[in-house]
Structure 1
Amino acid sequence: MAPSITKTQLSAPEPEHCPGPESENAGKGDACQGCPNQNVCESQLPQGPDPDIALINKRLSQIDHKLLVLSGKGGVGKSTFTSMLSWALAADEELEVGAMDLDICGPSLPRMLGAEGELIHQSNSGWSPVYVADNLGLMSISFMLPDPDSAIIWRGAKKNGLIKQFLKDVNWGDHLDYLVVDTPPGTSDEHLSVTTYMKEVGIDGALIVTTPQEVALLDVRKEIDFCRKANIRILGLVENMSGFVCPSCKGESQIFKPTTGGGKQLCQDLNIPYLGAVPLDPRIGRACDSGESFFDSYADSPAATAILDVVDGLRDQVELSLNKLNLDN
């Protein structure tokens, strides 16, 4: 362990809210960003494995399957699809399902799953998720905000700290079949943190969500590249908002024209599984706004059938991945 330093060794006065040069957070706190002393303080921190990783591994070892929902592009319906995936999995009463909202700056799963305004409880066993059904729990930073309209203005270090707490402190019970992790757009702090912290315990794979038009596919290609560089298996891609089905006449028309072949062509070009297309149905937005299960309210919708087909395909890919892992071992 490196020797501790004193204030006289600092190259500049300590900033306001400085954690202190002898703190375990020295050089890493919000106040450290841009401070002339940052490198000096960081150099004094003990080097070695992160002790929280063992706690994360122990907590997540009780979860059979861990899925990331990614896109790279905002506005493609990723959180909407996460909520519907969670509802669809939880429809099987034999499964225990958890949903984790890692979109820290824009948490929307509590509204979509009908848990807005709820609070989490802390005990000796950790944070208890909010249960929106007997077998569907949810964790989100939204439950910790004093006001639902409060903006989260955090630097990367604070985001990473919360993600680590979510992974090591949330008590999902004795066993969880599926943990579905909703992520924000892009390939930044949240994505790097969750993949790093979950690396040892294993991630089954990622579901990529896109819309048909090329402007969305541009960012989705970057997300696919991120998954390959981070060694995250891509379980498949779903093309969301693929055409519009009129609830009255059942006629379908294209809203977002797939100028380069859409998601299906992208999957062929990059050799990843294509799980299917989900048409636009305005009732999906209505169900999400009211926090209801779309499948319970509109089971006759072509979108409901398409989503359930995607979920079946996703579960098949998870089983294929598991079987391959068992054969390799």
Structure 2
Amino acid sequence: MHTIWSSSPTKCEQMRHRARNAPGWDSQHTPAIQAKPRQAPSVSWAYRVEHPELGKVINALSRPEYDLLFVALFHPTLFDLHDQFAFDVLPGVHPLHGHPDLIGTITPSHRGTLAIARDLGVMSSHPKTFMPSAIDPDEGHWVARPLLGDFMLFLFDDQGPYCLHFDIKHEEGAHDKPGPEVVASRQGDRSKKNASAKLRIKAQYLAEIGIRVVYLHPGQVDLEVARNLRFLFAWMVRASTLKPDQQDQLIELFQRGIEDGTPPAMVISTCAARFGWSPEEGRRVLFQAIWTKRLRVDLFDAILIDQPLYPETRDVIGEYAHWFVR
């Protein structure tokens, strides 16, 4: 079967743009929690990642989320991502409901987390907030609060668009355990019971709309790959000032260097002397070409521009392909 991500980078970019800007589909999303003071958990690091192509800032609320986020962003068929999203308390529709590529297809709906919690017998574990009465602060009622998810990925394959949920924790086996915001002294039986119940509610919710949950932790990604992807993406924020034909020429020279063992720094310094192209722009073109896969190099090895770059022998997306299966 044809593999979408084996298509040319240009074709994948065109397909991403088409899927993301499909008429009649509203992809607007506001994160339930942002990586800002008084919002992000104070017990862990929080990160804001600006994504130029998606036109948004993505919030990662822990270092594991931050590291694994870049593997998701590197996937060539990712056309949108909802970060720190809220599960609907009441019945609702699939996130891709109304997408024109699914016209004629019945997208499933869900019952909402309240109904699911009731049927699972775990209503006491559903998040809630006490709303005091405006007349008497001692009186009031409980209001359900939404459960939250880490990253909802929007991708496409030969069958069309689909979604995945990346559920990320700091270590293997922690997905049904209380999070770091629950201090050790309070991680008793009740906290563990609530965490397990929430996992079951979210799993059932996503099962009802046919979205696969991918349970991840940092130990599942190669450390060098994680470092390289973080580094490369930082160069994607600003477009190169070189003209397209100049970039093509430079990329061709980098490709020759990969083949004959010439370090990128030597190519950059030669072009700076010959054409007057700034070294910074040379580095930008290099790193952007690697991120967009116009240059295929070994991302399981450190990227050092004063050393030869090795040709790709293991494709990162192929290595983690099982994460992205619908």
TM-score tier by shorter-chain length is under 0.3
Q: Give the structure with higher Rg (CA).
A: 2
Structure with higher RCO (Cα < 8 A, 6+ apart) = 1
- TM-score (ref. length: structure 1): 0.27
